[in-house]
Structure 1
Amino acid sequence: MPSIAVFNMDRQKVGEVELSEEVFNTEIKEYLMHLALRIQLANRRAGTVKTKTRSEVAGSNKKPFKQKGTGNARQGNVRAPQYPGGGVAFGPRPRDYTLSMNKKARNAALRSALSFQFKNERITVMDKLDFDAISTKGFVGFMKRFEIERSLIITDNFTHNLQLSCRNVPHIKLLKHDALNIHDMLKYKNIIITQSAVQSVEGALQK
C-alpha cells in the first residue's frame, strides 16, 4: 500500500499514513473524470432563460396598414419579430439540463481524480487543521510554510476559526469530506487533507 507523510501546522513531519491502493493509487480513467465533470457543470444550469414570442408581448393585433395597394410588404401586426419591441423568433425556452451518473461510476471518477493528484505529489496530509483565533494572516503564513497555493482543503469537520480565517484568501476552498466533487478536485492544483478525512474518504469510496 502507498504511504504519505503526515505534517503538523509547523510543517514538521509527525508520522506517516498508509493510503488505500484502490482510492489513491488506482488506474486513472480520464473519460470518467470528463463525464463526471460535464454532468456536474450541466446540473448547475438553471435552464430558466426565456424570451417572449409574438403572442406574449404587449401590442395591438391591428394591421399597421391595409394588405394591398400601399407598395409595402404585407404585415400582420406590430408584435411581429421584425418590429422594435416585437416578439423574439426562435428564442430560448425553459428547459431541464439535468444529467445523471450512477454512483459506481461517480465514485470511480473521484478515485481517479485522487489518484491523479497523489501520483503528481499534490496531496498534503495534516494531523489536524485548526487555529486558536480567527486570523487570515495566520492562515496565509501556514500556506507559505508549505509553499503551496490554489488549494482545496478537505476536513472531517472544519471549525469556525478555520472557516473564517481562510474565506478571504483567494484560490482557497474549504470542503467537508462528504462534499467532495470532481470539479473542485480538478480546479485546484493542490489538496490539503486531514488524516481523519483521509479515512472518511477511503470509507466512502472503497469498492
Structure 2
Amino acid sequence: MASAPVVDQSGLRTGSLELSAEIFDCTVNGPVMHQALLRQLANGRQGTHDTRNRREVRGGGRKPYRQKGTGRARQGSIRSPQFKGGGVVFGPTPRSHRQDMPRKQRRLALRSALTVKAQAGELLILDGFTLEEPKSRVVAEMLHAIGSEGGSESPAMTKVLLVLGSHNEVLERSARNLREVRVLLAANLNIRDLLTGDTVLMTKDAVEHLTEVLSS
C-alpha cells in the first residue's frame, strides 16, 4: 500500500494516510502521460491563426508594367508572394487542433502522474482546515511551514497544486490570491497541472473521489 504524509492547518505533519495502490502506486506509463499532456496542450489552442494568400490581399488587380521590353522579369500583380505586401504561400489557416484520447488512457495517465508524485514524496494530504472567513495569510503560513519541514530552500517559490474534493469557498478564496498556488476540484484534475506542480496538496475527500473514479 502507498501512503502519504498528513498535514494540518498549521503545516505540521500529524501522521500518514494509506492510499490505494491501484491509483497511487501503479506501474508508471511515461508514453501515455506524454500523449495526454500533448493532447491537453493541443486542445487548449484556439486554432484561429490565419494569413492572407494572393487572392485575399487587397489590390494588385492591375499588371504593374508591360509584359515585354523592360528588361525585367514579367509580373502579373504586385500582390504576388515575391512582393512586399503580397500574399503568403502555404501560410497557416484556421483549423482545429483537437486530439481525442480513450478514457482508459486518460485515466491511466492520471494514475501514473499521481504515482510519480506519491513516490517522489510530493503528495501531501490536508486534514482539518477550518476557517470562519478567508485569510490568505493562514494558507501562506501553512505552505511555508510545509516547505520548511520538508527541507525546501525557498518554500515561497514552490508551485503548489491544491486539490479539493468539493467546493470550499473559504479555502478557495484564501488560496487564490497566492501566486504560486493553483486550486482545482478533484473532478477537474488534469495531467498538466499535476506535472507542473512541485507539490500536490490534496484533501481527504479529494483522495476518496479520485480513488472511486480512477479505479472504475
TM-score tier (shorter): over 0.9
Contact 2:79 2:87 in 1 (8 A): yes
The CA distance in 2 between the partners of 1:65 and 1:11, in whole Å, is 78
What per-residue deviation string (whole Å, max 9, x for no partner) do you get for residues 144-186 of structure 1? 1211531110001232332222223222110000001111100
Q: How does 1:87-98 map to 2 (within 5 A)?
A: 87-98=87-98
Instruction: Provide structure 1 residue ranges, at least 5 long, that are not aligned to the other structure.
Output: none
Shift of 1:67: 0.3
Contact 1:129 1:194 in 2 (8 A): no
The CA distance in 1 between the partners of 2:197 and 2:5, in whole Å, is 21
2:202 matches 1:193: yes
Contact 1:151 1:171 in 2 (8 A): yes
Instruction: Provide structure 2 residue ranges, at least 5 long, that are not aligned to the other structure.
Output: 148-154
SS at match of 2:112: helix
Q: How does 1:1-207 map to 2 (within 5 A)?
A: 1-14=1-14, 16-147=16-147, 148=155, 149-207=158-216
Contact 2:6 2:16 in 1 (8 A): yes
The CA distance in 1 between the partners of 2:66 and 2:3, in whole Å, is 85
Shift of 1:133: 2.2
Shift of 1:12: 4.5
The CA distance in 1 between the partners of 2:134 and 2:124, in whole Å, is 22
What per-residue deviation string (whole Å, max 9, x for no partner) do you get for residues 23-57 of structure 1? 00111111111111111111111111010111111
The CA distance in 2 between the partners of 1:100 and 1:93, in whole Å, is 21
Query: What is the root-mean-square deviation in Å for CA atoms of aligned residues?
Result: 1.7
Equivalent pairs counted in the alignment come to 207
Identity, in percent, stands at 35
Q: Name which of structure 1's ranges 157-166 and 57-66 shifts more when overlaid on structure 2.
A: 157-166
Contact 1:48 1:95 in 2 (8 A): yes
TM-score (norm. length: structure 1): 0.93
